[in-house]
Amino acid sequence: MTGLIDQFGRTATDLRMSLIDKCNLRCRYCMPAEGLDWLKKNDMLTADEVIRLADIAIARLGIEGIRFTGGEPMVRADLVDIIASVHNAHPQVELAMTTNGINLEKKIDDLVAAGLSRINVSLDTVCPDTFAKITRRDRLTKVLEGLHSAKAAGLDPIKINAVLLRDINDDQAAELLTWTIKHGYQLRFIEQMPLDADHNWTRDNMVTAAEIREQISQVYTLTPHKSPRGSAPAELFDVISQESGEVLGTVGIIASVTEPFCADCTRTRITADAKVRSCLFSHTETDLMGLLRDGSSDDAIADAWREAMWHKPKAHGQTKTGLGMPGFVQPERTMSAIGG
């Protein structure tokens, strides 16, 4: 049986599976202050359906790792059961999660015991006022408590995902990097992408990878990391003290807009309502929910998934790279509705 191969020769081995579109934050680059029209419960994947799709992905389609996303995956009460079931069936597969960290302190021990092996925590600043401005919630303390609990539980590495926004936290790159190095976390800066619900994103107003590198270089020396990048979204740099010359850690920059890496993409996505999105910026989706609920076989679902991925766009949901360039149309779904 073949895996998830597309017409440009790429093979998807990394599954991002959204469990829910709801979130308990309202980040400016993701959703409006009032939230969105959430999916109804019956329209979302059940725990058994998530587990079945994970099994099909691993056993039939060659998926090597799964990251559970949202919205905020910890909003789901059955998250631990989902992870435990997938892990018990496929203990060789790495199970990760992207989270805002707010409820991590309460759930981390159960999640690790269930088989969670890695987390990415979204954190754009360690300044309380800036955090509240970006997320529209005063919850920074809970996020930090969750991070420290994850470290105490033995998760490693713990990655921090950060987005810099113009005139809000665009001067805090070095400060956040210093904090993550101090606490033993791995920082990844992500260029803001046109996936916001308000559709206010513009290419001219985003903070670019070049700007991020320049800002960090005022405090640290950056040199390319020696390990091969492979299909990883982040380009890694060693962070070197300008005083001692000591390598203090690494920092990654995911330059989806200005330095795209579409040719090496190995990701496939399933939304919380069971749609295959072959590309983050796709304008088409393939529905698997009907097949899950009409008695179709696992082989039929796998075939539909393969067909969806065969038609994966070359880049950025179109025939060429160019987020925000002439001809680009932002997808209707927002990041919270797609899953990161």
Tell me what the mean pLDDT of segment 236-242 comes to: 98
Distances (CA, A) of 199 to 37, 72, 98, 315, 335: 16, 21, 23, 20, 12
Give which of 213, 237, 216, 235 is closest to 225, Cα–Cα: 237
Kindly state the tokens that stand for 131. 């955090």
This prediction's pTM: 0.95
Q: pLDDT tens digit string along 157-206?
A: 999 999 999 999 999 999 999 999 999 999 999 999 988 877 888 998 99
* Cβ neighbours, 10 Å, residue 153: 19
Tell me what the mean pLDDT of segment 313-322 comes to: 91
Tell me what the mean pLDDT of segment 220-236 comes to: 94
Q: pLDDT tens digit string along 12-62?
A: 999 999 999 999 999 999 888 888 889 999 999 999 999 999 999 999 999
**Is the predicted pLDDT of residue 1 greater than 70, yes or no?**
no
pLDDT of residue 94: 97
In our burial notation (b when 16+ CB lie closer than 10 A, e otherwise), range 108-122 reads beebbebbbbbbbbb
